[in-house]
Structure 1
């Protein structure tokens, strides 16, 4: 009996600690939460973000803390504050949880209003201006700080570099320093902030890239290219051709190269830096213009002639020499105008003769007569002995409504004696009128405005012959554009040129061929060209230069003409409409802008070219 009581008492004693522990566990969790609550502190007032902890370590026990706010617009649940013009009080509630125990802690926190100075300081800290720039600056006119708007005005110590609106003007040569001042204004208080900014100069690469972006050529070549040696900003250029027998490094497109491909490489140089760009072309020789330039003259077809680097001339001791061209295959040619560029004089001359083949039969060689600068050159209108074609003033016309299939020219150089300087031939051209022919030109890359400063001359101020000298007046304007002056020859410079260009055989001043021969006799490259569209004319104006154009008809009611020459010096668009800029020698003021529709109507598609 005593032994049972002993065992029972022992069992009770052994179980007592477990019972005691099991009964006190919730009280221990609550005690941990209570201790955590006691350690949780927040300021009564603040001007900075609050540290709202999410866990508290109580003797190795991690108590979780979750926060709620009575006004998210003032203090959010992460403790970020948003100050305003007035003090704002917010109730923050913390929920503390450990195991199964939890409790709440409530805090009243007042977010103090921002002072004007604090707003300005914060606005100052938010301003970001780069220490150097190559682009316009974003100079803002206001800054929002905690829902408060700060006004900003700017000053620049040099608006030629950076304006107070932030517009940057970079130098092409050197970096530039500028001082910008931001004046921050809030509630009547002002804070000025100074920034030192370096505006970086354009680099040589940037400048050369800009030039290259503007440098455009047609991908299909039909005429010579203008290859500048100098560009803005002091950039120089050298050119190289992949095939000088097709296209020279000077941009000269050689004859009879249709179907060929060629490339040009330009090397730009600026301040020791170089950049290259290569342009690729295919060649489509214009069917309506046959040009033989110096490079095209075949020495095996010369008699008593020699080809130098600058011209074709008579051999030493020879007083006459001849060049016979190849036979050029053509299609549906109704008429043609031959012309030449050669330095001549009263004792050294050239004579161009042309023949055509029609239905397998060649015409005679029909001559433009012997021509020399300063002679009374006499053109003649004659027919071929077999009536295949005829020379009519300046045009070779195929008879009987038929068409030519081949053309060939012969040019004869003469001088009065071996000791006289040789004539110097540089070019022969044939401008073809082709039935049913069109010649599309890609005008999409042409500039919107082209205008050459061609000197202006009125033909009608010249006594007696003024109403007849539109052609030599136009030639005079082109020559003066090239830098010539004839004021030492005559008070009326165009009267002097008229005497040189006159066709004394027909007693006219308007022989197209003789007029361009004057330009060639002075060392220029000049020839007659037929064009087939206003786009082709615009392309020539943009890429070669001004021309003298033959017109016939009503000139916008100003006058009507049966035949007249004007200088077309450029073109422009006004209100989306195309106008051609003209020096019209028949107008008192000379300068005029004709509608494109007028030029389309009156132009005879013939032009005097001076390169």
Structure 2
């Protein structure tokens, strides 16, 4: 059996914010931007000791950022050589400068150390190194005023993992999800191809926010008519709203994992990124009535019925057939611009391999706080 280690650590209470020196920041993505001074306060997580030498760490947060406010999300990792400096996971606000945000939502390129590097929203350990302990830090920033409306944070989480899965490893046997399907409204990213070129040229690359939108609509948390009026057309404007609220300017796309769960969190769901070990774990969610978003990559001959190849794609798991195959609302919809083409059944063995073997079981979990998650395993990768 290959290594499939994953632990999710979550904080949802006890955010003891401390005063911090003012921060001057000039938006690097706005030409000619001058530094603006923000009031600041900071929360640091306790140090988390990893039970294994993790090779990846992915943060999540659920927050609201009133007009004029934003969050700076940082992390640091340690091993026998000591701690890295604090590095940036995100400069984040739920809106953008065309709306109520004072800054452009973005990650930060070029953060590399002996121990590893930051790849968009993920810490990746260098070869032969591993994370023995880690810590997150969130700084809330607000424009000065007589009455400051600070950001509110309801969840901070970190998923530490170590996955090494061999291509020939047997796939899981059907389990508790057989015969269960959650009724999730379908949305095709292909309906948006070549629209809104400022956000990565439309639907060719909008798989993540399209999948996120499907789950938001399922949970009745999708944006309303007034929220999407700015889109200017009636072709699934909720998807476009999602793209605008997850777009990562430095990354140049809408596929930032943490930004997608943060968007769902700002819409009222409890949402985080984690890694699942196999489809049996995904079945436990579906059997509990909770659909998932998962990350895959594959050649066209590796996933029968998809009709495309991809180096990175997000789709939903909404159910399992009686035989244990996977029912997915796939936003790429066989490259056909139709919501009627979204629901697809994929072979269990193939889907599990292109999810686990290339993407380490990467999963978005999004649910209302009053909808209980299934019982987690002893090495808890959800809570």
In structure 1, the residue matched to 2:328 is: 582
Distance 1:544 1:319, change over 3 A: farther
Give the C-alpha shift of residue 326 in structure 1. Answer: 1.3
The gaps in structure 1 that reach 5 residues or longer are 1-285, 306-317
Alignment of 1:374 onto 2:111: no
Q: Is the 8 A contact 1:342 1:523 kept in 2?
A: no
Partner of 1:467: 204
After TM superposition, the score normalised by the length of structure 1 is 0.47
State the match for 1:519 in structure 2.
Answer: 264
Deviation at 1:579, TM superposition (A): 1.2
Aligned with 1:350 (options 71, 84, 89): 71
Partner residue of 2:138 out of 411, 420, 433: 411
Q: Distance in 1 between matches of 2:19 and 2:77?
A: 25
Cα 1:451–1:412 shift into 2, 3 Å = same
Inter-partner Cα distance in structure 1 for 2:174 and 2:297:
29
Is 1:552 paired with 2:297? Answer: yes
Deviations along 1:475-495, whole A, 9 cap, x unmatched? 111111111244441332211
Pair member with larger Rg: 1
Q: Does 1:399 align with 2:131?
A: no
After superposition, what is the alpha-carbon deviation per residue over 1:400-449, rounded to whole angstroms, capped at 9, x for unaligned? 33111111111111222353432111111112221569xxxx99983532
C-alpha distance in 2 between matches for 1:610 and 1:475: 9
Seen in structure 2, the aligned counterparts of structure 1 residues 515 and 346 have a Cα distance that, compared at 3 Å, is: farther
Mapped to 1, the partners of 2:282 and 2:15 lie a distance apart of 31
Q: Is the 8 A contact 1:345 1:374 kept in 2?
A: no
* Cα distance in 1, alignment partners of residues 42 and 289 from structure 2: 31
Of residues 48, 51, 56, the one that matches 1:328 is 48
Query: How big is the shift at 1:563?
Result: 0.8
8 Å CA contact retained: 2:178, 2:283:
no
Distance 2:94 2:137 in 1: 20
Q: Does the CA-based 8 Å contact 1:363-1:389 persist in structure 2? A: no
Does the aligned pair in 1 maintain the 2:294–2:315 contact within 8 Å? yes
Deviation at 1:570, TM superposition (A): 1.7
Give a deviation string over 1:536-576, Cα, whole Å, max 9, x none: 11112223611111110033152111111111112122xxx
Matching residue of 2:314: 565
In the alignment, which residue of structure 1 is the partner of 2:353?
A: 601
1:319-356: CA deviation from partner (whole Å, max 9, x where unpaired): 42111111111112011211111112452222211111
Take 2:321 and 2:39, find their aligned partners in 1: how far apart are those partners?
50
Sort the Cα spacing of 1:345 and 1:607 in 2 relative to 1 into closer, same or farther, 3 A.
farther
CA distance in structure 2 between the partners assigned to 1:501 and 1:486 by the alignment: 17
Secondary structure, aligned partner of 2:90: coil
SS of 2:144's partner is coil
Query: What is the CA distance between 1:298 and its match in structure 2?
Result: 5.9
Q: Distance in 2 between matches of 1:518 and 1:420?
A: 23
Tell me which of 280, 288, 297 is aligned to 1:535: 280
Instruction: Determine the C-alpha separation between the residues in 1 that align with 2:149 and 2:180.
Output: 40
Instruction: Write the distance in 2 (CA, Å) between the matches of 1:412 and 1:449.
Output: 45
- The structural deviation recorded for 1:290 is 2.6
- 1:429 paired to 2:124: no
Q: Matches of 1:320 and 1:443 in 2, distance apart? A: 51
Give the structure, 1 or 2, with the largest relative contact order (CA under 8 Å, sep 6 or more): 2
Partner of residue 493 from structure 1, selected from 216, 238, 241: 238
Correspondence for 2:8: 290
Matched, 1:458 2:188: yes
Mind listing any 5+ residue stretches in structure 2 that lack a counterpart?
Answer: 21-37, 97-103, 166-171, 195-201, 368-383
Aligned pairs, how many?
A: 304
Write the deviation string for residues 569-599 of structure 1: whole angstroms up to 9, x where unpaired: 12122xxx31111111111410111111121
Please report the RMSD computed on the Cα atoms of aligned residues, expressed in angstroms. Answer: 2.6
Hey, what's the Cα distance between the residues in 2 that align with 1:346 and 1:516? 20
